[in-house]
Amino acid sequence: MLLLLYIRICSFMIDTHAHLTDSVFSADRDAVLADARDSGVTAVLTVGTNLEDSGRCVELAQSVPMCHATAGLHPHEADLWSDRNAARIRDFLNRAVAIGETGLDMVYRTCPLDRQIQVFKAHIQIAAETGKPLVIHCRDAYPQLAEILAESGCPECTGVVHCFTGTVREAERILQLGYFLSFGGMLTFKNMSNLREVFGQMPVDRILLETDSPYLTPEPHRGKRNEPKYIGKVYEKAASILSVRMEDMVRLNRTNSYRLFKIGPGFERGSIGYRIRDSLYLNITNRCLNRCLFCVRNRSPFYFGYHLVLDREPEPAQIVSAVASSSGAEEVVFCGYGEPLMRPETVLEVARRIRPYTRRIRLNTSGFISPAVNRKELADNLASVIDIVEVSLGTPDPRGYAAICRPLHPEPHRIWDQVHDFIRTCIAISGWSVRLSCVDYPGVDIEKCRSFAASLNLPLKIRGYRS
């Protein structure tokens, strides 16, 4: 029974980087694929390393629905590049979802670096022409790699740097250029605590998971041949680093794989209710009176595998139905890609309707509310149906708030006082649980947030900006 539950949770796992055409799989490839399927893997990206291998990947993808191919020349094989071979790669790309594996390798220089660079640039050129994403290999060359991508003359090109092992700073440069980073079995290695730290700081809308089979087998299978069936171990470690559920990682990798490679079942647009960890969040509006520099909306329409841009604001009945169709959450939280109190009547109506069957209801708000709303009356009404109100501080001083949260108001430096007033109004309601939060974004004075919260005797949650 428990095994069945685990398999159900883990279904729709995707291995975004494997070498299924490697000769180590020649004798039992069908069994390897069957084992992967039985473990809940629904898609594998099999990555070509040279022309013959790319051809085999494309053939495999044509004969096995769960397989998808790439075509390219690995930096170790860059000496084989020629106009004729470039034409063959272009031809393969009609039946492949990405170009690569290409890139730079400063560890195993089986091919001179200037040749690797030349061939990498040629792959970028083909990516620019075809619109296909790049699958990039990089060993000890992240700064050079980022420089080449930045100067490629193809700002719309994208792709993934697979099996990333660099620093946070190196990751940020690659992320700024619009690329994804992929992580594999090394996350599970005992001596890779630095990599786990880096992984924990990555924006979740830009990470992918892989096995790199037959290499880099995750613990506890290290020493054996790696196979896509072991991807679950990578998911488990990634979930534990991010303190999320396995389901959260499955959804995250599924959505990101689809966004980059168009493989897998894709994602639902404009989620209203979205579950992460033990909380069910409600995304009821995309409107807000602030334009915070740290807002996740500035970075991506996706969060933890959910697409949160609404075509239109949902009716209360749709929101209630989103709560009813999700089970097991510890709490329901009004918090989405906008300020819930842009729709105060909707928050109140939904909270009243879900109250009888919801353990705890929380409202996350900026506390910057339309002047047309009576703050005292609103707080009283909210306190009657909502258990916890959590107010985001931005940074607690008039000028800092105006600079970081950028309120849409002719006198933005006056808004912090309104927020402060709202917090005091909430505190004054007997028995209501009030919390504060801030984001560790550059310019947010965390110490000031701490002392402000302490002065009001309120708990403060500090949220990580990167993650």
DSSP readout, 278-313? TEEEE---S--S---TT-GGGT-SEETTEE---SSP
Q: Which stretch binds ligand SF4 (CB under 6 A): 185-193, 284-292, 412-420, 459-467?
A: 284-292
Residues 6+ apart with CB under 8 A from 450: 460
How many angstroms separate the CA atoms of 298 and 296, rounded? 5
Q: Strand, helix or coil at 161?
A: strand
Specify the residue, 149 or 415, whose C-beta has the smaller distance to ligand SF4: 415
Specify the residue, 14 or 405, whose C-beta has the smaller distance to ligand SF4: 405
Q: Which stretch binds ligand SF4 (CB under 6 A): 77-85, 163-171, 208-216, 288-296?
A: 288-296
Specify the residue, 263 or 308, whose C-beta has the smaller distance to ligand SF4: 308
Minimum distance of ligand SF4 from residue 441's CB (angstroms)? 10
Site for ligand SF4 in 405-434 (CB under 6 A): 405
Write the CA distances from 414 to 158, 243, 292, 402, integer angstroms.
42, 38, 16, 8
292 binds ligand SF4 (CB under 6 A): yes
| Choice from 90, 196, 221, 297 touching ligand SF4 (CB under 6 A) | 297
Specify the residue, 51 or 436, whose C-beta has the smaller distance to ligand SF4: 436
Tokens encoding 340: 């819930």
Specify the residue, 187 or 369, whose C-beta has the smaller distance to ligand SF4: 369
Phi, psi dihedral angles at 173 (to 5 degrees): -65, -45
Half-sphere CA count of 428, side-chain side, radius 13 A: 11
List the beta bridge partners of residue 433.
388
Minimum distance of ligand SF4 from residue 439's CB (angstroms)? 8
Residues 171-177: contacts with CB within 8 Å, 24+ apart?
Answer: 171/198, 171/201, 171/202, 173/142, 173/143, 173/146, 174/142, 174/145, 174/146, 174/149, 175/202, 175/203, 175/206, 177/146, 177/149, 177/150
| Choice from 69, 136, 272, 288 touching ligand SF4 (CB under 6 A) | 288
Minimum distance of ligand SF4 from residue 445's CB (angstroms)? 17
How many angstroms separate the CA atoms of 201 and 260, rounded? 21
Report the amino acid identity of residue 325.
S
| Choice from 50, 271, 366, 395 touching ligand SF4 (CB under 6 A) | 366
Segment (H or E) for 101: strand 98-105
Specify the residue, 210 or 339, whose C-beta has the smaller distance to ligand SF4: 339
Specify the residue, 272 or 292, whose C-beta has the smaller distance to ligand SF4: 292
| Choice from 152, 211, 290, 425 touching ligand SF4 (CB under 6 A) | 290
List the beta bridge partners of residue 224.
222
462 binds ligand SF4 (CB under 6 A): no
Specify the residue, 134 or 444, whose C-beta has the smaller distance to ligand SF4: 444
295 binds ligand SF4 (CB under 6 A): yes
Phi, psi dihedral angles at 220 (to 5 degrees): -95, 20
Q: Which stretch binds ligand SF4 (CB under 6 A): 70-78, 223-231, 287-295, 371-379?
A: 287-295
| Choice from 338, 344, 407, 412 touching ligand SF4 (CB under 6 A) | 338
Specify the residue, 22 or 339, whose C-beta has the smaller distance to ligand SF4: 339
List the beta bridge partners of residue 352.
none
Minimum distance of ligand SF4 from residue 394's CB (angstroms)? 7
Minimum distance of ligand SF4 from residue 367's CB (angstroms)? 9
Contact call for residues 395 and 449 (beta carbons, < 8 A): yes
| Choice from 339, 369, 378, 400 touching ligand SF4 (CB under 6 A) | 339
How many angstroms separate the CA atoms of 100 and 212, rounded? 14
Number of residues that bind ligand SF4 (CB under 6 A): 10
395 binds ligand SF4 (CB under 6 A): no
Q: Which stretch binds ligand SF4 (CB under 6 A): 165-173, 234-242, 286-294, 311-319?
A: 286-294
| Closest by Cα among 74, 119, 136, 67 to 96 | 67
Binding site for ligand SF4 (CB under 6 A): 288, 290-292, 295, 297, 338-339, 366, 405
